[in-house]
Amino acid sequence: MLFWNKRQFVPEATEYFNPMTDSKVAIITGGNQGIGWYTVLHLYLHGFKIYMLARNEERALKAIEEIKVEAEKRVSKYDEAETRSRFFGSIHYIPCDLLDLKNVEKAAETIKKAEDHLDIIINNAGLMGCPFEMTKDNYEVQLQVNVVSHVLLTLSLLPLLVNSKAPRVVQVSSLGHNLATSFYENTNDLNKSPSSYYSMLRYGVAKTAAIHFTEVLAKKYPNILCVAVHPGVIATSLYDFVWSTNGFLGTISSWIFKVSGSIIAVSSEVGAYASLRAALDNTLTVDQNNGCFLTTGGVMSSASKVARNMDYAEKTWNWNITQLQERGFKLID
C-alpha cells in the first residue's frame, strides 16, 4: 500500500552478516507461511542461522525450499558489490506444536543442545477469532497459542539470549488488541454469547496479554531489546475463515473488512517489515526503545491504554508464571 511507502522500514538497508565469521542465530514460530515466511526469507538473505518452529513438518520443509528458491531469484539481481558482501544463512526445521506445552518445552531443549547463544526470538505464530475451545493443557486455545506457549518458549531460552551481545525478543501482536477495552487476566471463562463477539474479544485479550509479556520482559531484562509489533491488515484468507465461523454478524463483518481492506491492506511481505525492523534495525536500542510498539511497515506507534498499563502487565505476567509453574514447568522469572 502506497500510504506506508515513505515511512516503512527497508530491510535491505540494514547490516548483512557473513555466517562464517558472524554467528547470528534466530528462531521463529510459524515461519512457514504469511508474514513469517517473508521474515525468514529476509533473515536468510541477511546471513542468519534460522530455526523454523512449526507443527507440520511437510509444510515447513516445503516452505524452506520455496524460501531458498526466492532468495536465489533476489540474489540474481544484486550488483557486484552486493554479491561480494552478502551471504545466505541457513534454515533448520524444529517440530513445535504450540497446542502442547510439553512439545514447546522439548523444542526449547533441542535448541539449547544445538546452540550456545541466541540473538533473536520472533514469537510470530498465532490464531485469530477461533470458536471457544480448551487445549489439553487447560487453556483457551487462542490464549495458549498467542501467549502462553510463547511465554514458555521465551523464558526457557533466556540462558541463550543472555549469552548474545545484543539479544532481541519480537512479539507479534495485532491492532486487534484494542478490542480488549477492559483488563481481563485470561480468556478461559470468556465463553459467552454472541460467540461472534466473544471469539474476537478473546483474540483481543490474548494479543493484549502478548504486549504485557513483552513490556514486563523488557523491564526485568533491560539488556534484551523487547518489541511488540502490529504487522498490519494483511490480504489473507484468514479473515474469510474467521467471519465464516461466526454466523450472520460474521458475514456483515466480512463485507466491511473486504471494503476497508481494499484501502488499508498490505502484502504479507510488507506485513513482515515490523518484525524485521524489531529484529534488524540498529537504531532501536535498549535505552530508548525497550518495550516499544511498532505498527505496519515498522513505524513507531503506541499500544492501547490497557496494553500500556504496567499494573495490568504485571498481573498478566504473574498469572502466566503461576499457571505454568502449577503445570510443572521450571521457569527463570
Q: Which residues are marked as active site?
A: 173, 203, 207
Residue 198 Cα distances to 60, 172, 180, angstroms: 32, 21, 10
Closest CA to 121 of 130, 108, 110: 108
Q: Find out whether 319 and 185 touch, Cβ atoms under 8 Å.
A: yes
Closest CA to 27 of 169, 143, 211, 237: 169
Long-range contacts formed by 178-184: CB under 8 A, 24+ apart: 178/204, 178/304, 179/203, 179/204, 179/205, 180/204, 180/205, 180/207, 180/208, 180/304, 180/306, 180/307, 181/304, 181/306, 182/306, 183/306, 183/309, 183/312, 183/315
Burial of residue 258, with CB atoms counted within 10 A of its CB: 0-12 exposed, 13-18 middle, 19 or more buried: middle
- To the nearest 10°, the Cα dihedral for 211, 217, 222, 226? -40
Half-sphere exposure of 58 (CA within 13 A, CB side): 0
DSSP string, 232-272: --B--THHHHHHHTSHHHHHHHHHHHHHHHHHH-B-HHHHT
